[in-house]
Chains A and B, each alone.
Chain A
């Protein structure tokens, strides 16, 4: 009897608004402590929350992008707990009526091990709700004291909750990555994981196949995909070992320690989860009209999954290529601009972007948006491959020059004399010259020494200074050598 792994995710995405969810204080990251903590963030007496339209718009965008139910009527509630980084003594969140209801996200799962092939999977989204972030505690800020920075307090979050549809670390990581791509794609979150803009809580349980769901433990606050995978692998093994040695799993909140690669339970107080939610009397219900939803829909770009399907069906790319080219909006935009120069050579565009361009970016530690070669420039090179002006190796030469020095493909081809010779008369003349200079080898070849063909190709290519169109050269050589 084997064990089945059951995983669900709760992802906190910081929304990319200019201001906080309930006040006009800035949300800029990295400012001096408490300089963006206004009266509302501090929960001074007499303040009143006023909902940020930009936060609601971003929630609607997410709902549309995942085909989710968007509630025409949703309600804010108070989640009560005491902690110094939460000055009100409650977090404003949503409980029974969240702004976004059921939806789904289709992802391409990349198995973490060996030769297994990528496969598609649809993960159901349970809900997504708006809430405010808490402040930050700085332990040991002074002797025996904790310092509190409330700049982050009140930053809008969209908490995206999935169904427990994932059954491996690979699936959980692929889902989290797809979500990360999506929120940046639709421009609702900057996705900066170091700054905490995208934080994942992972619920993990195991069960014997076919058995009812096991007790879950929740790994809190994972801010890297690598840690997520390590944490899940460790936790799954721990749960299986515990159960197989006759133990029981207690529901718990746990933390992952990247230094040891282990998970451990947080000390939890009795009542810790008794949040006594109730509707916030300071906030009226949020109404979202169908007209508003349509206005927001009109601003949505073509979504990654739609693009992937189009790349496969209309451009003939593989599912893997399509997935890679839609891993970010910058990547997809780059690809489509290159493609516009050579509309019938999608595969060549994909190969160059994922090959040469990616390799150079990785080597120089750059991302797509910092590429020294623009998509238009690359399109210029590929156009010259497509019309036989450049050989593949000539194109790589142009690419390297362009990467280092900039410039336009045609100018580089001209300056470096890389124009490929495709004129059949010229190629025939070169071949004739090579054969005349190597009459003995021609005789050997004709008497059956086929291996010499490579010698002739090399010699003719050399004679052409590397500019002969290789396919044409082969063809002419074959004919002439045959006699």
Chain B
């Protein structure tokens, strides 16, 4: 039996540093001022406080869940249901050419 691995570990919950917030902000491409970072750090630490509280609950014998609802995924049969609506979609795109959506040059 493979058990579900929690994404947040306890150490993380215990302390959230300014660097942690800066890193998450960078990964999410969010530009934040130092005041905003401090506000976010305090708020996120509060959330981790809640998580720490939940982790203290004895869950022995309770199967881990990956979703808040105890339901299974509904499946769709493999039949084409969507038609070409490129014109409508591209009408709201900032820039298109030859059917392609254009974005600033990406250099790897």
Contact = CB atoms under 8 A, between A and B. Distances in A.
Interface of A: 17-19, 23-26, 32-39, 42, 44, 50-56, 71, 75, 80, 82-84, 96-97, 101, 137-142, 144-150, 266-267, 271, 274, 276-279, 281, 283-287
Secondary structure dominating the interface of A: loop
Which of A17, A34, A285 is the most central at the interface, judged by chain B CB atoms within 10 Å of its CB?
A34
Contacts of A71: 2
B100 A34 contact: yes
A36 B89 CA distance: 11
Nearest to A255: B108
A38 B72 contact: no
21 contacts: A37-B86, A39-B89, A53-B78, A84-B106, A137-B106, A138-B100, A141-B102, A144-B104, A146-B104, A147-B97, A149-B100, A266-B108, A267-B108, A271-B23, A281-B67, A283-B67, A284-B67, A284-B73, A285-B72, A286-B72, A286-B73
A96 B101 contact: no
B10 interface: no
B62 interface: no
Contacts of B90: 34
Given A17-B78, A267-B108, A281-B67, A141 B5 contact: no
Contacts, number: 143
Interface string B48-70: 00000000000000000011110
A53 B67 contact: no
Nearest to A57: B78
A39 B81 CA distance: 12
In the complex, the 3 A-B pairs of residues with the closest C-beta atoms, listed nearest first:
A24-B81, A54-B78, A147-B100
B2 A54 contact: no
A271 B105 CA distance: 21
Interface of B: 2, 4-5, 7, 23, 26-27, 29, 66-69, 71-82, 84-86, 89-90, 95, 97-106, 108
Contacts of A277: 7
B103 to A, nearest CB: 4
Nearest to B6: A96
B21 to A, nearest CB: 14
Contacts of A278: 7
Given A32-B99, A34-B86, A83 B76 contact: no
A286 to B, nearest CB: 5
A461 B66 CA distance: 81
Contacts of B80: 18-19, 24-26
Given A23-B82, A101-B2, A142-B97, A276 B75 contact: no
Given A18-B78, A18-B79, A24-B76, A147 B98 contact: yes
Contacts of A35: 84, 86, 99
A379 B73 CA distance: 50
B29 A145 contact: no
Nearest to A80: B27
Given A24-B82, A36-B84, A75-B4, 16 more contacts: A18-B78, A25-B80, A33-B100, A37-B89, A39-B85, A52-B76, A97-B4, A101-B2, A145-B95, A145-B97, A145-B104, A147-B101, A149-B99, A149-B100, A267-B108, A284-B69
